[in-house]
Amino acid sequence: MNEFQLIQHYFKRASQADWLRLGIGDDAALIQPQPGFELAVCSDTSVAGRHFSPHTAAADIAWKSLAVNLSDLAAMGASPLGFLLNLTLPQADEQFLSDFSQGLFGLADQSGIALIGGDTTRGPLAISMTALGQVRSGAALKRSGAQAHDHVLLVGDLGGAALALQQGEAATASLKQRLNRPQPFLAEGRILSEYAHSAVDVSDGLLADLEHVLQASHCGAQLQLDQLRLHPALQALEPEHALELALHGGDDYALLATLSDSAWQAMQQTLPADVLANFQPIGRIVRQHGIVGRDGGGQYRPLSVHGYTHF
Ligand code: ADP
Ligand code: MG
């Protein structure tokens, strides 16, 4: 199978989207976002042996590679449009490609994002994707928008992926699922774009990603540690171990957002209870730099960041 047959067979799909003027097959795709909207563009690369174990199922590799990009779009408050797939493969293994495209389109179809192009080369297994979304002009959620007195909201739960990594093969199927098949919070991101001052997705650990917001916004945060929503599997752990995973473990793909008291009240009055339940208040933004946290009624203590960094 040559490169063109491979693309044709596994990746080219008809798309009727009105914003897509030209999809796979030409030198570039053509995109026409809705009037009054901006394009949000993000990119992420996964390398075998670094971002996923060589034993990871092809469908999971594809799912997660797309999910991490969708999580970035969600954190901007953007709605997904299309994505590009840059695939580096050691060989054109048909079983791998078939499983990969099944995982890929499983999430793409669920999220309403279309594959609009890419590049295919031979080499050590690596997947790079670039995703495009649209967001109403001026409504994108930046890291730099947090203000003193804002509430800090968390969407999703923490620590499950990090626990799955620690447990390796011994992890339960549902815990492995949490690591391999994150569910991007696109609907919640869109809701937050109506209310929040700032947002970030939690990929490197809660504190590390909160710190990005605090640095961009020149402020600090107070966290109520007993309000953090932990992955259910963390309940079986010693509390200190569970907290360590929740604060520092990566790969959660939760969302963090900050919003004013009045916006939080408006959200509570407007959203149905089942939707509102996805947004957990976990603390406040303060003027004083740094992050402090307390459990129950105890004293605040400083929390230091040690999230994952590549270099
Ligand atoms: P070029 O030579 O202009 O780079 P290619 O031959 O690499 O074009 O690709 C042909 C078409 O197939 C392009 O529209 C490109 O976007 C698309 N394409 C290539 N690889 C992939 C892929 N892995 N997934 C989706 N589309 C792809
Ligand atoms: Mg090319």
pTM of the model: 0.95
Q: Is 135 exposed, middle or buried (0-12, 13-18, 19+ CB in 10 A)?
A: buried
Specify the ligand 1 atom closest to the Cα of 23. 14
CA quadruple 310, 74, 198, 304: dihedral sign: negative
Q: What is the pLDDT of residue 112?
A: 96
Q: What is the mean pLDDT of each run of 10 residues along the chain (311 residues)?
A: 90 89 95 96 96 93 98 98 97 96 98 97 97 97 98 98 96 96 98 98 97 98 97 96 96 98 98 98 98 91 77 68
Name the DSSP letter for residue 146: -
117 close to ligand 1 (CB < 6 Angstrom): yes
State the pLDDT at residue 297.
78
Say if ligand 1 is within 6 A of residue 127 CB. no
Ligand 1: does its nearest atom lie under 6 Å from the Cβ of 7?
yes
Confirm or reject: Cβ of 23 under 6 Å from ligand 1.
no
How far is the C-alpha of 246 from the C-alpha of 234, rounded, in Å? 9
Rounded to a whole number, what is the distance in angstroms from the first to the last CA of the chain? 38
Give 292's strand partners. Answer: 222, 302
Ligand 2 centroid vs 120 CA: distance in angstroms? 6
Output the pLDDT for position 307.
Answer: 54
Work out the angle at residue 77's Cα, subtended by the Cα atoms of residues 19 and 152, and round it to the nearest 5 degrees.
Answer: 175
Question: Residue 79 CB: number of other CB atoms within 10 A?
Answer: 22
* CA distances from residue 197 to 27, 118, 207, 287 in whole angstroms, order as listed: 39, 34, 18, 15
User: What is the reported pLDDT for 1?
Assistant: 82
CA dihedral 85, 90, 93, 96 (to 10 degrees): -50
CA-117 nearest atom, ligand 1: 16
Predicted pLDDT of residue 16: 81
The H-or-E segment that residue 179 falls in is helix 173-180
Q: Pocket of ligand 1, candidates 1, 119, 120: which has the most ligand atoms within 8 Å of its Cβ, to mutate?
A: 119
Query: Is the CB–ligand 1 distance for residue 27 below 6 Å?
Result: yes
Ligand index nearest the alpha carbon of residue 84: 1
